Every structure is written in structure tokens, then in C-alpha cells.
Amino acid sequence: MVNIAVMGYGTVGSGVVEVIKTNGDIINQRAGDEINIKYVLDIRDFPGDPIQEKIVHDIDVIINDPEIKIVVEVMGGIEPAYTFVKRCLEAGKSVATSNKALVAKHGAELLSIARERELNFLFEASVGGGIPIIRALNSSLTADRIEEITGILNGTTNYMLSKMFYEGADYDEVLKEAQDNGYAERNPEADVEGYDACRKIAILSSLISGQQVDFEDIYTEGITKITKEDMLYAKKMGMTIKLLASSKRCGSCLSAIVAPALLKKGHPLYSVDDVFNAVFVNGNVLGDAMFYGSGAGKLPTASAVVADVVDAAKHLHRNIMTMWKSEKLELQPVGDTSRKFFVRMSGDAEARRDEVEKLFGEVKILTVDGVEGEFGFVTGVMTEGEYAGKAAQAEGILHMIRIEE
């Protein structure tokens, strides 16, 4: 029997208990031993819930019990999760977590502690919920030099953008609907400002580069400025708008960005709608691969956590996780990255054509029925810095969206 403890009995923690209860026979068979939840740590009590007999309120109960071999951390946030996880690893217990904030900030250190003690610090559920992207990078794609990872990594914003695109709804309307349906928090900032996706791409970037990528260094732009008008232009161009988190290799460094982007119909992420997530990976040997599925939610996330528990149970005394160094990787400045840009500008299209083309070169002017007093155009390929310089000289720019080729 392999005894485990679950830290946190919220949405994901209760999901972990449910998954182990529902699929216990299969899980035990695959682990090669019986997985038994001995403790559940929470500050609350749960009278009437069968889990109450396992509830403990003191982390030391878990730390000091030599029978506990694996600890699941699903508390969220940095503290006390970081302190608890570090103490568990130092006490000789492997850890499986869904905590993206913890992994993004302290992943290198916790991986190092686990390796020194021949334990495992596993975090499949921290990126993409139930999509097995971490495991793929850690085992299946180790023969490849990963050139690019681009993903739709936040289900809330993807749901909102899908609604705006297909139903013509405005931002405030779809945000309220997302909140009413439980897809968005009352304070949706982490999702709609791109911070959630940023932490996830920081983790993936650290994995493929082997060095620490700080999420604070990644240029991040959310979806709060996306409008119905943007969607009408996208449809006119045969494109859609998605919030993309992207990391691309540029020589010896990486460029990383989180921002809304226009995608053509041929792009592999074009048709990823609703609350689903997807990750596109390009390897120098493999070529292109796609990972698609439920990127969040109680049971998909819990499924990924329990898969890590099974992995840890199968490798109780052998470290299996790819590490990254704590040495910080300097990202390519966002101003040096190149792409095309879609720009909306106020005024009459023909009256301002010469002015626009003097700044941006030859462009294709776009107008949309029902959108008055403005026009759009697509630039040629230029760096972000070049675009910013030209945009500073132009009057009446209403919005800019990057184009993902």
C-alpha cells in the first residue's frame, strides 16, 4: 500500500479524492500497488462528508508520518504551499501539484530538492489541466529540440472569445455569462489580463530551455480591449481571434509573449473553441504535434494530478522529472520580434490612405458593413519596435492585434 496525503480539499482536492474513489481499481493496477488517501489537510472541517475522518489541520501530522510517501498539493497560491511542499520533499516525500504559480516561481528549486533525495516533484496539472503536455515534453519528446510551443492555455478567455466571435456579443456581456456559468471568477483579472496563461507558458519555456524563465519577464496582454468590431474585421479577413501564449526559439534564446492574435483558418489552433485548451508543439525532428482537451475543471485537473501520483508511486526511489536550472534565461526583447499587425484607425479610409502608406508602406485597406467612421489595414512584416515607432507617429489608431502566421 502507498499512503498519500492531499493538501487542500477545495475544487481540485475533492476531485482528486473522487477520481481515486471512482477509478481505484484501474489506478491501483497501473500503479502496481494500492493508493490509499490517509490524510486530507484543510483549515476547515467537513461534517457529514466521509472525508472528515481523514481531515487534519496540522502539516506536521503529514511531515512526521513515515508512512506517507506522496503528497498532493492542490491548495493554490505561493504560501503556505511553497513552505509545505518544500518541507514534504525535505522529509522524503514525493509531491504532485496543480499549482502553476508555485511551479512558475519555485520550480527549479523544488525539482533540485527532489532530485537530490531521489524523489519526484510532478506538476502535469499546472499547465493545460487534463492535457498531458508536461509528460509529453518530459518523456515522449526528449529526442527533439523544441523550436516552438504555442497554446490556448486559458479556458475562460477562450470561452469568452468564442462567444464574441460566433454570437457577436460584447466583452462585458460574455464576461458576465462566463461568471454566471462558473467559468470565470468574480474577480476575473488573472484570466482576462493573461496572467494565468503567462505563468503556464513560463513553465513550458523553462522546461524546453532548461533554464528559469520568469513569468514577470514575459510580455503579457489580455483580452479586455477586444471588441465586437475586432471580431467583425476578423470575420471579414476569414480569421478568428484567440489569446495565445507562445514561446519560440530564436538562436540561443527564446522569445515569449501572451497576447490576442488573429489566426487564419489553416492554423492548427483556429478551431479550438469554448473552454477547451490546445498546445501546438514544433520539434526539429518530430515536426508539428497538437495536444487538445479540457484545460481546466475539477475532474480533468484532478485526473492529471492522480496520473502524477501513479507515476510517483511507480518510481518511489527514482527521480524521473526533467530539471531546469535556477539560472535565469534572458528572453529576446519583445521589441525585436517580427510579425504582421492588424490595425484599426479612425477616419475615412481613402482620405487617409496616403498618410497610412507613407508610414506603413503599401497596405490593404479594409472596411466592414455596420462599422462607421473607421477602417482597418494589415501591415507587412516588421518588428514590434518598428511598429511602435510608426504607431506613435499616427493619429487615430483605435486598436492593434498581432497576426500569427
Task: Tell me the CATH number at 254.
Answer: 3.30.360.10
Looking at the structure of the chain, the number of domains it has is 3
Whole-angstrom distance, CA of residue 122 vs CA of residue 213: 18
Whole-angstrom distance, CA of residue 114 vs CA of residue 309: 15
Is residue 208 included in any domain, yes or no? Answer: yes
Structural Rg of the chain based on CA atoms: 23
- Written as nine digits, the cell of 47 is 461534517
Same domain membership, residue 370 and residue 315: no
pLDDT score of 252 more than 80: no
Confidence band, pLDDT 50/70/90 cuts, at residue 143: confident
Give strand ranges (E) for 131-173.
146-152
CB 371 within 8 A of CB 229: yes
Quick one: the chain helix, strand, coil %, rounded to 5? 40, 25, 35
Same domain membership, residue 213 and residue 98: no
pLDDT score of 52: 97
Whole-angstrom distance, CA of residue 351 vs CA of residue 320: 63
The answer to whether 54 is a known catalytic residue is: no
Same domain membership, residue 351 and residue 303: no
Is residue 109 included in any domain, yes or no? Answer: yes
- Written as nine digits, the cell of 166 is 460566433
Interhelix angle 155-167/171-180, nearest 10 degrees: 130
pLDDT score of 391: 96
pLDDT score of 380: 94
pLDDT score of 262: 98
**Which of 95-99, 178-182, 299-303, 312-316 bottoms out in mean pLDDT, i.e. has the lowest?**
178-182
Domain extent, residue 183, equals 137-294
Q: Supply the mean pLDDT for the chain.
A: 94
Confidence band, pLDDT 50/70/90 cuts, at residue 80: very high
Whole-angstrom distance, CA of residue 121 vs CA of residue 402: 36
Q: What is the maximum alpha-carbon separation in the chain?
A: 77
Is residue 223 included in any domain, yes or no? Answer: yes
Same domain membership, residue 107 and residue 246: no
Same domain membership, residue 115 and residue 75: yes
pLDDT score of 253 more than 90: no
Same domain membership, residue 141 and residue 125: no
Is residue 328 included in any domain, yes or no? Answer: no
Is residue 329 included in any domain, yes or no? Answer: no
pLDDT in tens, 16-41: 999 999 999 999 999 999 999 999 99
Q: Which of 38, 100, 105, 200 is catalytic?
A: 200
Query: Of 242, 275, 294, which closes a domain?
Result: 294
Same domain membership, residue 367 and residue 240: no
pLDDT score of 244 more than 90: yes
Confidence band, pLDDT 50/70/90 cuts, at residue 182: confident
pLDDT score of 325 more than 90: no
Same domain membership, residue 245 and residue 202: yes
CATH of the domain at 372: 3.30.70.120
Of 11, 199, 193, 189, residue with least CA distance to 103: 199
CATH of the domain at 99: 3.40.50.720
Same domain membership, residue 287 and residue 191: yes
